[in-house]
Every structure is written in structure tokens, then in C-alpha cells.
């Protein structure tokens, strides 16, 4: 195809691909790095949004999935399985469909956003709703893949992180440097681990001079890394990051410690406020979990932990259309109008 070839071709020398593999891609990656004028004004920093909802299935998971499905196909796998709060399953379903593989997804019953479920349905995944949370689903997926001929495509599969680290490359390639601070939502903790891998690889090769401080934000009701211990019953409106026992715990701690960063909890109220600010002031519609990076940006700027003048990138991880229920909960119902220009003018308070 023409134009951007997808991230495996774009970063061929930096991601592992089996010899002769057919590359399974939807031309993911190369997502916008959007200057956030209002957030910059609020924080006194230069803030950019890495808009990962612009990926083919609407989340950053596509970066990992082009790698995981390419490898699964090259290894002769016929089926893949994952546990998911919704985005991993949407992405796995799409890439598996493209590769001609069967996909099975384990999701927590009633706790995945409507758009994500729709994606798994339309791409033909075998959807198993589980009477448990994400952590239960991941344990089931691990056990199933250990005992049966089905490849696990969660981020415990290391090639997933190899794909996801390319977001750091893109940011540095566009800015010509690394940011001072990088803010991320953290759930199962694969993504913060992957970003840090990307930054340290670029620094190791001299492409960038300095790595950013990594700021990881968790929902207050699902903040095991903040508390330093797993949470048995995680709860948050941000269902994507409703995770109590992150698989990449050690990688996340390394990213924070080596970078001089932090973990912090943000409340559902802070997340929803940031969600609305992003949509109404920046024109960027994200799902609630994604807004936790911006909620954290605002909180750390407000109490002085984010130095004024910093160059900051906030990754917004998934598209707002994933979760129409949350968006529509803010809708004010009004009576339908007659077909009458006067009624329109009155309703808009123009008359």
C-alpha cells in the first residue's frame, strides 16, 4: 500500500519480526501528537496529546497486536486468546480476523464498554463473559493457553510491548527530543513498561539525549501500584483500567524509579472532569480511562510536582466512541421542535 506502512515496516530495525513472516497490519501507528492549548495554559507547561484513539480499532492496543498476531501466524498458530477490559479484545478480534485466525476473548461480565463489545462481535471473536474481574480473566486465559494450542496475546506476551514501545519513537521523531514528563494511564501496566523501553532504547542509541520522567496514573479504586499491593475488588468508572493485580508490575516500577517519576491515584470525579475538559476545550474525545493521564497532569501541576515550563506528553489511550454510555450520561433531553425557524432561534436564545 501507499503512505504509512504500519509500525512494523516503519520501525523494522527496532522491532523483532520472524524471517519471512507475513506482516499482519492495519497500518496502525503514526498517530497525531496534538498541541493542547487549553491544558498548556492551565499548567504553564507545553502539553501535547498522543492521540491513540486514532489507531485502526480506536486504541493503542493495535501497536501490540500487529506484533502479536504477526508472530502467532509465523509460528503456525491457528487461534489466539486474551483477557480484556475491552480494548485488547477489540484489537485481537480485528487483527485475528485479518490474519484468518480464530480469536477467543475473556471479558468481565457487564464491565466492558459497549463499543468494545460491538467490535469483538462484529470481528467474529468467540466472546466469553466471565463472572469475575479482569484479573480473573487473565488467569483463565493464561491457564487455557498453557494447556491448549492457543496463543496468548495479552501484554504478558513480550512481543506486544515491542510494538507498543514505538509510540515513544514517534513522539521523539516528531518533537526532535523526548518530553520532560510523560503522563500515562496505568492498568495492567504493559504500556508504561513499553514506553519506557522505547525511550531507553532511543537514549541508548543516542537518538535522544535525555529520557522523560514517567508519571503513571491509576483510578483511585484500582490503584495497586500506588498502594504497593494488589487490590482484590478494583472499582472505577474507567473500566479499561479496572485492574487489581497488574501483570507488568515490575516493569512499571522500573519505569517510575529509573526515570525519577511517580505513581498517583486520581478519583473518578477527577477523571470525568478531565474527560469533559478534553472534549469541550481541546476537541479531543477520549474514553474515561484515557482521561486519567490528563487528570493526573492537572493534579501534579496544581501542587507543584510538575515544574512550570516542562514539555509534557499525555497519552490518551482510547477513543471516546468506545464508551457511548458515559458520553450520553451528560445529555440533557429537550422536547423535539416543530419544523419552524422561529422555534430554532428561540431554542438557541438567538431571538
The helix/strand count (H/E) of the chain reads as: 15, 10
Q: H helices of the chain, where?
A: 7-10, 37-43, 61-74, 87-99, 114-122, 134-147, 158-164, 166-175, 190-204, 224-227, 249-259, 268-277, 288-302, 324-328, 341-347
Say how far apart CA 259 and CA 253 lie, in whole Å.
Answer: 10
* Nearest in space to 199 (alpha carbons), one of 244, 259, 241: 259
Binding mask 50-89 for ligand F0G (x = CB under 6 A): ---------x-x----------------------xxxxx-
Q: What are phi and psi of 214, to 5 degrees?
A: -100, 120
Q: Measured from the CB atom, is 63 or 350 closer to ligand F0G? A: 63
Q: Measured from the CB atom, is 61 or 256 closer to ligand F0G? A: 61
**Residues of span 209-268 touching ligand F0G by CB under 6 A:** 240-241, 243
| Site stretch for ligand F0G (CB under 6 A), options 7-15, 36-44, 182-190, 255-263 | 182-190
| Site stretch for ligand F0G (CB under 6 A), options 13-21, 141-149, 287-295, 323-331 | 287-295
131-148 burial, b if ≥16 CB within 10 A, otherwise e? Answer: ebbbbbbbebbbebbeee
Q: Measured from the CB atom, is 168 or 191 closer to ligand F0G? A: 191
**Residues of span 297-336 touching ligand F0G by CB under 6 A:** 317-318
191 lies in the binding site for ligand F0G (CB under 6 A) = yes
Q: Which of 115, 163, 185, 296 binds ligand F0G (CB under 6 A)?
A: 185
* Nearest in space to 68 (alpha carbons), one of 139, 135, 10, 16: 16
| Site stretch for ligand F0G (CB under 6 A), options 12-20, 23-31, 165-173, 188-196 | 188-196
Q: Report yes or no: 45 and 306 within 8 Å, Cβ to Cβ.
A: yes
| Site stretch for ligand F0G (CB under 6 A), options 11-19, 119-127, 181-189, 274-282 | 181-189
Q: Measured from the CB atom, is 37 or 168 closer to ligand F0G? A: 168
Residues that bind ligand F0G (CB under 6 A): 59, 61, 84-88, 155, 185-191, 240-241, 243, 287, 289-290, 317-318
Amino acid at each position: 500500500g501507499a503512505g504509512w506502512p504500519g509500525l512494523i515496516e516503519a520501525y523494522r530495525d527496532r522491532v523483532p519480526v520472524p524471517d519471512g513472516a507475513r506482516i499482519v497490519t492495519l497500518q496502525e501507528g503514526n498517530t497525531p501528537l496534538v498541541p493542547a492549548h487549553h491544558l498548556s495554559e492551565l499548567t504553564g507547561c507545553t502539553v501535547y496529546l498522543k492521540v491513540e484513539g486514532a489507531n485502526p480499532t480506536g486504541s493503542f492496543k493495535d501497536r501490540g497486536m500487529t506484533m502479536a498476531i504477526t508472530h502467532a501466524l509465523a509460528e503456525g498458530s491457528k487461534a489466539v486468546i486474551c483477557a480484556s477490559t475491552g480494548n485488547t479484545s477489540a484489537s485481537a478480534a480485528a487483527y485475528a480476523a485479518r490474519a484468518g485466525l480464530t480469536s477467543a476473548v475473556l471479558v468481565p461480565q457487564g464491565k466492558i464498554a459497549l463499543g468494545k463489545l460491538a467490535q469483538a462481535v462484529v470481528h467474529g471473536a468467540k466472546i466469553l463473559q466471565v463472572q469475575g474481574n479482569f484479573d480473573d480473566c487473565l488467569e483463565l486465559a493464561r491457564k487455557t493457553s498453557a494447556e491448549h494450542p492457543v496463543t496468548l496475546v495479552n501484554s504478558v506476551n513480550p512481543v506486544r510491548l515491542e510494538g507498543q514501545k514505538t509510540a515513544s519513537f514517534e513522539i521523539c521523531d516528531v518533537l526532535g527530543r523526548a518530553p520532560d514528563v510523560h503522563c500515562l494511564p496505568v492498568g495492567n501496566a504493559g504500556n508504561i513498561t513499553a514506553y519506557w523501553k522505547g525511550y531507553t532504547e532511543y537514549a541508548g542509541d543516542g537518538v535522544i539525549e535525555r529520557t522523560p520522567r514517567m508519571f503513571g496514573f491509576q483510578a483511585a479504586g484500582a490503584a495497586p501500584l500506588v498502594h504497593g499491593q494488589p487490590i482484590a475488588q478494583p472499582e472505577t468508572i474507567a473500566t479499561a483500567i479496572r485492574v487489581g493485580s497488574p501483570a507488568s508490575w515490575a516493569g512499571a516500577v522500573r519505569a517510575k524509579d529509573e526515570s525519577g517519576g511517580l505513581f498517583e491515584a486520581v478519583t473518578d470525579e477527577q477523571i470525568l472532569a478531565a474527560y469533559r475538559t478534553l472534549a469541550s476545550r481541546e476537541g479531543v474525545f477520549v474514553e474515561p480511562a484515557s482521561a486519567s493521564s490528563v487528570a493526573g497532569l492537572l493534579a501534579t501541576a496544581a501542587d507543584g510536582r510538575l515544574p512550570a515550563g516542562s514539555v509534557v506528553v499525555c497519552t490518551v489511550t482510547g477513543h471516546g466512541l468506545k464508551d457511548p454510555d458515559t458520553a450520553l450520561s451528560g445529555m440533557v433531553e429537550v422536547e423535539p421542535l416543530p419544523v419552524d425557524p422561529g422555534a430554532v432561534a428561540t431554542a438557541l436564545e438567538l431571538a
